[in-house]
Amino acid sequence: MSHKGPYNAYVSAVGHYFPDKVIPNSYYESYLDTTDEWIKTRTGISERRFLEPNQPTSFMAIRAAQMVLEKRGISAEELDAIIITTVTPDMFYPATAVIVADAIGAKNAFGFDLSAACSGFIFGLATAIQFVQCGTYKKVLIIGADKMSCLADMSDRNNCVLFGDGAAAFLLEPTEDKTIGIIDQILHVDGSGKDSLYQLGGGSLNPPTHETVDKKMHYIYQEGKTVFKAAVKGMADISAEMMEKHNLKPEDVAYLVPHQANMRIIQATADRMGVGLDKVMININKYGNTTSATIPSCVSEYYYDGKIKKGDNLILTSFGAGYTWGSILLKWAI
């Protein structure tokens, strides 16, 4: 993709929020046939965060948004648009973007939710970029937020240990400098994985009934091994493709920012790109798989730790339900 808009979109501020409640692997050891050792070696996860049951996804999205506004030093009234990527909206409608806009006082913005599972943030960012590149909007907030604890069957050891709750956000603004900001995107969707990872109940196919609840159809269903194999190939291929397309050598890449589903998938992607783990953003050990929040929360944490410099090339890459997968090349501008 080479865009034709008059501007580049750049990330002008970042923010993140994770709930206070830490759920260590030992929590699952206490009631499931699992061990801290299995979870750590098979996934890379040591602990994750859970919201309280009565706190919705917007609780985290609001806080991530407020951090972005504070760091950028602007008021919510300056926002033109709010896009929230999530598979765990507060409600099917109104969009969680409406709830967040109201809570932070974004009186002049429009907004909507976007659903692409673990590729949500990449697809959302690709969408948000368009509004900015063409010059129509000047301040677009994109938030990845998911409360996965409400979709995980806590009696299923295959799934519940993998997920956590979190939110993170980017503010996008236009620049006339075409050498910085979001440089390129490669996005894909195909239905080959639609039977391997899904939530069957609650939508128009299987509206909620006592039966859908009894059959646990409102929880995440995942064939872990099938998705794992597809993710290893999909993430590695698309990251390598982005490097080849832009003639980037491993030393030209400051960071790979991969979706955090499994440390072994992350390692395989880094190996294929020829970059060491010192060049890979990782926070799966602390938070597990937070779906839409994994990629922006890594960037936000690394940025505030002083680990990203202006001019750094970042390759953001995701893979998830559908399948959906994508990669974005970003030259850091702040």
Q: What are the catalytic residues? A: 118, 259, 289
Among 101, 125, 261, 273, contact with ligand UT7 (rule: CB under 6 A): 261
Helix axes of 263-273 and 224-245: crossing angle, nearest 10 degrees: 30
Q: Contact with ligand UT7 (CB under 6 A): which of 194, 225, 245, 307?
A: 225
Helices (H) and strands (E) in the chain, counts: 10, 13
**Per-position x/- string for 163-202, each x denoting binding to ligand UT7 as judged by CB under 6 A, each - no binding:** ----------------------------------------
* Smaller CB separation from ligand UT7, 80 or 146: 146
Q: Between 288 and 307, how does the x/- string for binding to ligand UT7 read (CB under 6 A)? A: -x------------------
Amino acid in the structure at residue 127? T
Please identify which residue in 231, 253, 268, 273 interacts with ligand UT7, judged by CB under 6 A: 231
User: Of 120, 329, 322, 126, whose CA–CA distance to 238 is shortest?
Assistant: 329
Measured distance CA(79)–CA(76) in Å, rounded? 6
Please name which of 168, 2, 166, 4 lies closest in space to residue 71, comparing C-alpha atoms.
168
Which of 62-70, 137-145, 257-265, 276-284 is the region at the interface with ligand UT7 (rule: CB under 6 A)? 257-265
Residue 115 interacts with ligand UT7 (CB under 6 A)?
no
Residue of 224, 248, 285, 304 that binds ligand UT7 (CB under 6 A): 224
Work out the end-to-end distance of the chain between its first and last CA atoms, rounded to an integer number of angstroms.
24
The neighbouring-strand residues paired with 313 are 331
Q: Min. distance of Cβ 262 from ligand UT7 in angstroms?
A: 4
- Residue with smaller CB distance to ligand UT7, 86 or 289: 289
- Which residues have C-beta within 8 Å of that of residue 208, sequence separation ≥ 6? 201, 202, 218
Burial 145-180 (b: 16+ CB within 10 A, else e): bbbbbbbbeeeebebbbbbbbbbbbbbbbbeeeeeb
Of 236 and 261, which CB lies nearer to ligand UT7 in the complex structure? 261
Q: Nearest residue by C-beta to ligand UT7?
A: 224
Q: Is 42 in the site for ligand UT7 (CB under 6 A)?
A: yes
| Closest by Cα among 39, 40, 46 to 23 | 46
Q: Decide if residue 320 touches ligand UT7 (CB under 6 A).
A: yes
Tokens of 150: 């409400």
Q: How far is the CB of 122 from ligand UT7 (least distance, A)?
A: 12
Closer to ligand UT7 by CB, 111 or 288: give it. Answer: 288
In the sheet with 140-147, reading across from the earlier edge strand, the strands are 8-17, 165-175, 140-147, 81-85, 110-114
Provide the minimum distance between the beta carbon of 6 and ligand UT7 in the complex, in angstroms, as a whole number: 36
The site for ligand UT7 (CB under 6 A) is made up of 34, 38-39, 42-43, 118, 157-158, 161, 224-225, 227-228, 231, 261-262, 265, 289, 320
